[in-house]
Homo-oligomer: A and B are copies of this chain.
């Protein structure tokens, strides 16, 4: 029997919950994994929530997590900007959770879109025309573009819903400017953040997620073990046909219990 992973890198949307509903058995399986001494981080391309909001949601579903165990593309983007870019001002096309993470990391927000050095684009489920137009102005005035992720869709209770790629497409196709950095999975910034928190080697980690293109691709690229769950954006047939082959295909994260045995 192969050695079981010491660290778990768990995706959220489509893996632990889907909209407001938790995947049956998810909380039990995660609690068992924690009780067995495994280190756990949650790694999500969500850029529109801050970590405290996610922590509260997990807690409501019976899963205890520290804020530092939650790694979102919003918080990883904020850490990146604060670490490598000094004296910048940022404009956001995104929700309050994104701005909260930027504030926590000490990244200054611009007062006007035309003054921004960076435009940070994230999922925005309440986006308005005027917000799109402000982002357009920022990019048109020369702001570099960072996207928290570039997913085309995310699983919502009513089906696949348009994701950050839509916001990005609106801005890049009207300004002719490219995206300079995409933070989210399968990007190296997310992998680095997860490994840094777990303090483990890649081959000691198992990535559990519902997306071949972000979760499984990240795991394989960085030499981690991978488990695809079928509770989100990927069907078994699609998984078979993909070039991103996971080590395991599970009906849901509830299978984690069996894996731990």
Contact = CB atoms under 8 A, between A and B. Distances in A.
Contacts of A163: 174
Contacts of A168: 173
A129 B126 contact: yes
Chain A interface: which size bin? Answer: 20 to 34
How many copies of this chain does one complex carry? Answer: 2
Contact of A132 (B127, B152, B173, B176): B127
Interface string A158-192: 01111101111111111110000000000000000
A175 B169 CA distance: 11
Given A167-B170, A170-B170, A173-B168, A162 B132 contact: yes
Given A166-B171, A173-B165, A173-B168, A125 B136 contact: no
A173 B163 CA distance: 10
Contacts of A175: 152
Interface string A116-160: 000000001111110011001100100000000000110000011
A170 B162 contact: yes
A129 B164 CA distance: 11
Nearest to A168: B173
A133 to B, nearest CB: 5
A169 B165 CA distance: 9
Interface of A: 124-129, 132-133, 136-137, 140, 152-153, 159-163, 165-176
Closest 5 CB pairs of A and B: A169-B173, A169-B169, A166-B170, A136-B162, A152-B174
